[in-house]
Structure 1
């Protein structure tokens, strides 16, 4: 966010803080004046000022102070009380005829009520201001962390394309973001303990990030981590005891325009009728995750004409996106292979992601040479480093 915008927000916060600090005092004063003083006394004070003003201007005769319209019994606080009438010295605390504890037009019960109301109002305003300040500080920290994450991603946009895509999808929680690395959790909800994306400039920075986020250790230990860089992955593996390791190439697709399609296949989103086939043929995701991917429309099924008429179709395979957003789940059934269908499915998925305003990327297992050749044929850009997926087997989980 631009620095000027942050400065303007800071000025508005300071003005709001000053207002909320002064307002309770003013509110108490108003409560005290309008509710603690009886209506009769207010009217008497106003009448006294009106009469004196007329006397000064010569528009009215001087008023006898003993005619009942006014009293100057308290005009001289140092006067002789012995000369005052007894009724002036008699303060009535009994409540009077109306039950109001009144002393010369002053209601003590109402004053206490006004004081309590003003105090309650001050507390409410203080709590609201404190909550608002906390929200604003959280927002400022989030903006700063997001800016730091974007700066780190710019160092190698291809290698960190998955970070950029997750930020674009707004399905993340930034656990750490600075010039030395990023720790981010996928909040899409496909995995129980979430998927973490981790990157650091070196092993020392990786250790620093882990020590700065102790509250994430349990989920990282029992969840899945996508770590960028084999040396960084080795440090995390030793720290958490991961025993399931998959090393991948990260490839990014950045065509100037959508890839051409041959038009021989028809695509539709997977639904319940495809679910059983997908569960029986794909084993790199759990059945629970596959069900969620199908329900959210993240998997596409492809159909090819069964004859020249085109009326009959064959379900030849499927493709989709993994929970974190990478392309994958590509499978062509054995009887339909070697017809160029895999390239058609890949091109379709790339175009679909481009249409969403995102950058398509994929993780290719390092020994999957056929898939790697296909990506190169489609013009994929290979990242400078490798991405290592790590998790603990069920026997080693807490």
Structure 2
């Protein structure tokens, strides 16, 4: 089965988290059936959607007991994993930048790729991942930052599963729209490389949801549920 074409025909927007890693050759296909799709992205996160519960046990055989981050689309699989004791973290909206036009950026910020010299600042300010993961993201060249008066004021990056994230504005620089400019810059970066920018936003993060709407992001039809 051509799993990429299958998902694109189903709903390219809602399944962009599966489609983009497959399109870029950054995913291993674990299950590819009309009843469901499961992939491993960059030897890291597992991501899947179940369309028919007849394949439920095939999914749970792989997912239950795994220590990898797991993303699952709405459906019976979510409730089943919860019932089987999997550690549930949060539901997210999926927001996708569907335009091809880059943003015009403010000239008041210096934006650059972060290096290992910046790692201590990133580790001191970003608390939603462990040190090994953050270090790997910086080493891979996946983070950029904004400088104000020569000092790193904020940073943003791309997670291993290809979502835009890791956004943090240092306390002294908040309420200056720096986070907005950084996300615009990262979207531009991805567009320049022929990639589709998308992100996951927790359902309770009103500020981030408002930002995605302001940037013209389009939301998928399904929630994405993160485990582990």
- If the length of structure 2 is used for normalisation, what is the TM-score? 0.93
Q: Which has the larger radius of gyration?
A: 1
1:184 is the counterpart of 2:29: no
User: Are 1:195 and 1:223, in contact at CA under 8 Å, matched by a contact in 2?
Assistant: yes
RMSD: 1.7
Higher helix share goes to which structure?
A: 1
Query: CA 1:283–1:244 in 2, change beyond 3 Å: closer, same or farther?
Result: farther
Classify the secondary structure of the residue corresponding to 1:338. Answer: coil
User: Is structure 2 residue 128 aligned with structure 1 residue 284?
Assistant: yes
Q: Comparing both structures, which one devotes a greater share of its residues to strand?
A: 2
User: What is the aligned counterpart of 1:370 among 188, 194, 207?
Assistant: 207
Answering whether residue 144 of structure 2 is matched by residue 300 of structure 1, we say yes
Matched, 1:197 2:197: no
After TM superposition, the structure 1 = structure 2 runs for residues 161-310 of structure 1, keeping only pairs within 5 Å, are: 161-186=16-41, 188-189=42-43, 194-202=44-52, 204-210=53-59, 214=61, 216-217=62-63, 221-239=66-84, 241-304=85-148, 306=149
| Alignment match, 1:380 | 217
Q: Distance in 1 between the 2:5 and 2:27 partners?
A: 14
Give structure 1 stretches of 5+ with no counterpart.
Answer: 1-143, 307-312, 392-398
Does 1:150 find its partner at 2:5? yes
Q: Distance in 2 between matches of 1:234 and 1:250?
A: 19
Separation of aligned partners in 2, 1:371 and 1:217: 29
Secondary structure (helix, strand or coil) at the match of 2:165 reads strand
State the Cα deviation string for residues 322-351 of structure 1 (Å, max 9, x = none): 111000011111111111111110100001
Separation in 1 of the partners of 2:143 and 2:40? 22
Q: CA deviation at 1:315?
A: 1.4
Deviation at 1:245, TM superposition (A): 1.8
Aligned to 1:78: none
Q: CA deviation at 1:237?
A: 2.5
Q: Write the distance in 2 (CA, Å) between the matches of 1:231 and 1:374.
A: 31
**Following TM superposition, by how much is the alpha carbon of 1:233 offset from its aligned partner in structure 2, in angstroms?**
1.2
Deviation at 1:178, TM superposition (A): 1.7
Number of residue-to-residue matches in the alignment: 228
Matched residues in 1 for 2:77 and 2:59: separation?
Answer: 11
Structure with larger RCO (C-alpha < 8 A, sep 6+)? 2
Distance 1:281 1:293, change over 3 A: same
**Alignment-derived partner of residue 348 in structure 1:** 185
Change (3 A) 1:256 1:171: closer
Corresponding residue SS for 1:222: coil
Aligned equivalents of 1:231, 1:251: Cα separation in 2 = 23
How big is each residue's C-alpha offset from its partner over 1:125-166, in whole Å with a ceiling of 9 and x where there is no partner?
A: xxxxxxxxxxxxxxxxxxx3xx13421342111110011111
Give the drift of 1:262: 1.5
